[in-house]
Amino acid sequence: MKFVSASPCRILAVIATVWTFPQAYGSGYGQLPFDMQEVKAPSIPEYTVSLIDFGATGDGHHDNTEAFQRAFEHLKEKGGGHLNVEPGIWLTGPIALESNTDLHLEHGSILLFSDNRDDYPLFRWDVADNPARECVSPISAFDKHDISITGHGTINGRGEIWRPVKKMKLTNNQWKKLYGGGTLSDDGHIWYPSESIKECTHEKIGGAAPDDDLAWESMREFLRPVMVLPVRCERVLFEDVTFENSPRWNVRPLLCRDVTLRNVTIRNPAYAQNGDGLDIESCSNVHVTGCTFDVGDDAICIKSGKDRAGRMRGAPTSNVLIEECKVYSGHGGFVIGSEMSGGVYDVAVRNCLFIGTDTGIKFKSTRGRGGAVRGIHISDIKMVGIAGDAITADLYYGRKAAGQHAEPVDESTPVFDGISISGISCTGAARAIWLNGLPEMPIRNISISNSIISAEAGAIINNADSVTLHNVNINHSTGSRLTVTNTANPTADPSAATAAVVSTQKRHSARLLNGVLSCKPDNLKLQNVGVSE
């Protein structure tokens, strides 16, 4: 095994084979690299009632929708309190939370939502003057304060009645045992829960007039709800509960302040279409700690609105601390984007474990989004068995192969500037690092340090400016260890010209071959970078 290090152009120093990963910052809000006030907990009166008191039956067959409504209306009249749900299977339709209330699910209780899509009417709501339509969420809260869902019970959103399923994501036996009813796509590769879901498309939705109620109603079943949706709420707590089997995303706090998720479990089948775990959107002061995710799409995701609507809303996600979390299945362990048009800043992620996710740390956006992502600090992340990239930042998300023709910079150009990643330990990935900016807007000021990544392929950096790799050891088995293309103002090293790779563009590109860095990019710093073979 050979370890090499880069001064401006030649790899010289030897790197230690024993690694320790001290935390970049300690525990607690005061140890964060940005100012963050302690997240406020909800204030809820001690008054407690039982769901049974309102005529509920936990046999899995009795409809308890009215019992939940009566219970929350009663708590509202009393000024708040706790609604206790005993062990049992509590079938219900949508639930609307009230201020100063706690929905407490005892161990052994299952909140099972209705499998009748007609129980979830279509509704229109405005978020910062941006009208939207979708089906009513199983659990929602609009403009409330001091709300919580606690206890060791389970909330099941009956996602199977909503989600299309792709055959490629299932085994043959799973496909044969797919839910009764429904219909198949014309090529037989996608199962749809209903004919109306099959016939609807995003293009059809985009062409519907905002006030054409009949057209929207015809598409209702396609407009799947988020399972848990607090909007414009303050002091929100989810603790110890299991959220599972959502119609679309599982938990989506939107435009909320002071949000805590502590020791919750969020699950979806691995094949769940759009089955995100947690989507924190346009929120401030958020603490996620000790949570476990096993989902069908992105696990822990930061968003702030999409395209012009997100920019007009102008509500960034900021002051977020995510720590001590574990992610199993998921498209990404920790993700920012692609809907980040309102901006994202001051986010810390530390001491997490990603096992078998498609990617580990993922930043994604594309032209048209706009918005800026700054002040992101990720440290002490352990990864095992990552199917794709351990670390990726791609500004061509959802597009075909990245072209190198610059486009004019305007408010729709996304900006990623100021990301610090340290203490990464990854055993097994398809590729170590993939940084892919735009020609007109390179990814800037990216620091990766004190990390060991074992992967099939090495690192590729394209359209980037001021990237620092410090004490990074990449163990790869195929291809080049490090490929750098279209960086700002690179200069070919004459002494290694025979190893240089020159692109067809105006800028030079460089590749690390056999321990020799064949260029000297002015804004790419390689300090004690370890590569092995």
Residues 231 and 254: beta-carbon distance below 8 Å: yes
Q: Which of 82, 331, 377, 476 is catalytic?
A: 331
Q: How confident is the model at residue 6 (pLDDT cuts 50, 70, 90)?
A: very low
Q: How many CA atoms lie within 13 A of 181 on its CB side?
A: 10
* pLDDT higher than 60, residue 514: no
* pLDDT higher than 60, residue 289: yes
pLDDT (0 to 100) of residue 8: 29
The pair of structure tokens assigned to 243 is: 């959220």
Residues 286 and 316: beta-carbon distance below 8 Å: no
Q: How confident is the model at residue 67 (pLDDT cuts 50, 70, 90)?
A: very high
Q: Across all residues in the chain, what is the average pLDDT?
A: 86
CA–CA dist 393, 523 (Å, integer) = 18
77-87 tens-digit pLDDT: 999 999 999 99
The mean pLDDT of 294-304, rounded to a whole number, is 98
In order, the DSSP letters of 448-513 are EEEEEEEESEEEEEESEEEEEEEEEEEEESSS-SEEEES-SS--B-GGGGGG-B--SSSS-EEEEE
Q: How confident is the model at residue 521 (pLDDT cuts 50, 70, 90)?
A: very low
Left if phi > 0, otherwise alpha if psi is -120 to 50, otherwise beta: which for 271? alpha
* pLDDT higher than 70, residue 305: yes
pLDDT (0 to 100) of residue 70: 98
Question: Please, is 76 exposed, middle or buried when counting C-beta atoms within 10 Å of its C-beta (0-12, 13-18, 19+)?
Answer: middle
CA–chain centroid gap for 461, Å, is: 23
Q: How confident is the model at residue 403 (pLDDT cuts 50, 70, 90)?
A: low
Residue 297: active-site member: yes
Q: Which of 146, 294, 297, 358 is catalytic?
A: 297
Higher pLDDT, 508 or 219: 219
pLDDT (0 to 100) of residue 27: 55
pLDDT (0 to 100) of residue 168: 94
CA–CA dist 56, 75 (Å, integer) = 16
* pLDDT higher than 70, residue 68: yes
Residue 53: active-site member: no
Residue type, 130: N
Which one-letter DSSP state was computed for residue 412?
Answer: T
- The H or E element that residue 105 is part of is strand 101-105
Q: How many CA atoms lie within 13 A of 431 on its CB side?
A: 18
462-496 tens-digit pLDDT: 999 989 999 999 999 999 998 988 855 332 223 22
The mean pLDDT of 378-390, rounded to a whole number, is 98
* pLDDT higher than 90, residue 108: yes
The pair of structure tokens assigned to 230 is: 């607090």
CA–CA dist 368, 306 (Å, integer) = 9
